[in-house]
Structure 1
Amino acid sequence: MSTITTESRALVSERLAAQLRDDILCGALEPGSRLGEMALAERFAVSRGPVRAALGQLADSGIVQIVPNSGARVRVIERSDARALYQVRAALEAEAAMLAASNAGRNAAPRFRQLLDHHAEQIAAHPEGAYLQVSSDRDFHVVIAELSGNPLILRYLTHELYPQVSLLRVKHRNVTGRGADALAEHERIAAAIIEGDGEVAGLLMRRHIRNSWTALETQLSQTEQDIESQT
């Protein structure tokens, strides 16, 4: 009986973590928002135990911050942390692209084509917007991580790094034209992987991540200037 109860509690906490993750990454819960255990327990009609466990899961993924004697809040990712995040991302994703080129080859062509055609449709509908992907199964970067064949790279990227990147991605919405540029970069990376050229694939991926960071950093600077001008 206790085993069933333990399993049930684990499932409840996973469900709560998934719901809160969606709320955070879609912007419904903004960075800095307080995540009170009592309020969340009332919202989801559960005890505080599963809520506490769910918040712990989100803290492990880097999108929630738990401060002793203060409680949990949606993480505010500072510029220095964002820069470090993108540095790690560039290294891991470049390696993933190199491995994907060795493992996938031309067998990956149909998968990339379907994915990029879908993204092209999104860009055509919003040509001045950012390159925002709405689900992980269609995310170009997740596909490459899967094709790398390295379970550690895949786990670290999908469970720890990408949730934090998604929290930052909201800031890309005002990067005019970045969507079309990113799509073109993705096309070149996919072509290198399909051709089996790992060296070029890794180089192009690293450059792509660097361009993404440059666009984000420019916007962060502009946001800080706007805040200063209003104070």
Structure 2
Amino acid sequence: MSTISRDQAALTPDRLADELRAEILDGRLPPGARLGEMALAARFAVSRGPIRTALLKLCDAGIVTIVPNSGARVRIITREDARALYQMRAALETEAAMLAASRADAGTAARFRALLDQHGADIAAHPDGAYLQTSADRDFHVVIAQMAGNPLILRGLSHELYPQLSLLRMGHRKVTGRGLQALHEHDRIAAAIADGDAEVAGLLMRRHIRNSWNALAAQLPAPEDAAD
């Protein structure tokens, strides 16, 4: 059943997309799950038009695939797709970190400290050192994108890249020991940004994303043999 409490008539395509996005990104609709228009229309008590529009929005966000004459399904992200996402992430977030450093002010350090102290408490609650896969980790990067002051970078990360990364990570929730290391990397990035050192902030961010990719890639299926 839908988790939205509302008048059915108020279910716009945007709200339908938000509902389905939440179910996809928290695993209730796993990769490969079929998203039939008729079934969804019956479930939400709406016509197929708003459902179709919502699915197109999710397709644009990269978390749903729509195949003509086959319908919509939750996207399955391949290893090649994942590598491309991380390459794009490195480019955008490195630039965001450098721009954020160039715009740092007296309150920047305190803002990061409050966020990272919360992350530290969250990690301490998990003895296995699970990597931060909740919104808290993403918040650190969103804060940097916001600080960068570039709306195109912020939109590219928040509305397009991060939902796809969240879907990718659904099946790879834990990278043992990565939590503490990621927090240490976040600390160093935050310090460089607060110090206004754009060059170091960009370097540390690129290194952080490379480390994140290496940890995740170790869990992904190995590339198929070229001879196959």
Q: Are residues 1:32 and 2:32 paired?
A: yes
What displacement does 1:28 show? 0.8
Residue identity matched to 1:173? R
Residue identity matched to 2:80? S
Give the Cα separation in 1 of the matches to 2:101 and 2:161.
Answer: 22
Residue of structure 2 equivalent to 1:198: 198
> What whole-Å deviation, never above 9, does each CA across 1:17-62 have from its counterpart, x for those lacking one?
0010010001111000000001111111111111101000000000
The change in CA–CA distance for 1:105 and 1:127 in structure 2 (over 3 A counts) is farther
Give the Cα separation in 1 of the matches to 2:166 and 2:9.
Answer: 27
Residue of structure 2 equivalent to 1:133: 134
> What whole-Å deviation, never above 9, does each CA across 1:121-155 have from its counterpart, x for those lacking one?
1100013212123368x710000000000011001
* 2:131 and 2:179 in contact (8 A); partners too: yes
* 2:100 and 2:193 in contact (8 A); partners too: yes
* 1:171 and 1:216 in contact (8 A); partners too: no
What displacement does 1:14 show? 0.7
Structure number with the higher helix fraction is: 1
What displacement does 1:187 show? 0.6
Give the Cα separation in 2 of the matches to 1:207 and 1:195.
Answer: 18
Residue of structure 2 equivalent to 1:48: 48
* 2:33 and 2:74 in contact (8 A); partners too: yes
* 1:105 and 1:193 in contact (8 A); partners too: no
Residue of structure 1 equivalent to 2:189: 189
- Between 1:105-114 and 1:70-79, the stretch displaced more is 105-114
Structure 1, gaps ≥5 residues long: 1-7, 225-231
What displacement does 1:171 show? 3.6
Residue of structure 1 equivalent to 2:16: 16
Structure 2, gaps ≥5 residues long: 1-7
> What whole-Å deviation, never above 9, does each CA across 1:138-188 have from its counterpart, x for those lacking one?
710000000000011001111111110111122442310111111111011
* 2:92 and 2:153 in contact (8 A); partners too: yes
SS of the residue 1:14 aligns to: helix
Q: Are residues 1:86 and 2:86 paired?
A: yes
**After the TM superposition, which parts of structure 1 deviate over 4 Å for at least 4 consecutive aligned residues?**
8-11
* 1:13 and 1:50 in contact (8 A); partners too: yes
Residue of structure 1 equivalent to 2:143: 143
Give the Cα separation in 2 of the matches to 1:90 and 1:171.
Answer: 22
Q: Are residues 1:218 and 2:213 paired?
A: no
What displacement does 1:11 show? 6.0
The change in CA–CA distance for 1:77 and 1:53 in structure 2 (over 3 A counts) is same
CA RMSD of aligned residues (A): 2.0
The change in CA–CA distance for 1:135 and 1:52 in structure 2 (over 3 A counts) is farther
Residue of structure 2 equivalent to 1:162: 162
Give the Cα separation in 1 of the matches to 2:206 and 2:85.
Answer: 13
Structure 1 length-normalised TM: 0.88
Give the Cα separation in 2 of the matches to 1:74 and 1:9.
Answer: 26
SS of the residue 2:28 aligns to: coil
Aligned length: 216
Residue identity matched to 1:153? I
SS of the residue 2:106 aligns to: helix
Which runs of structure 2 are paired with 1:96-111 in the superposition (5 Å)? 96-111=96-111
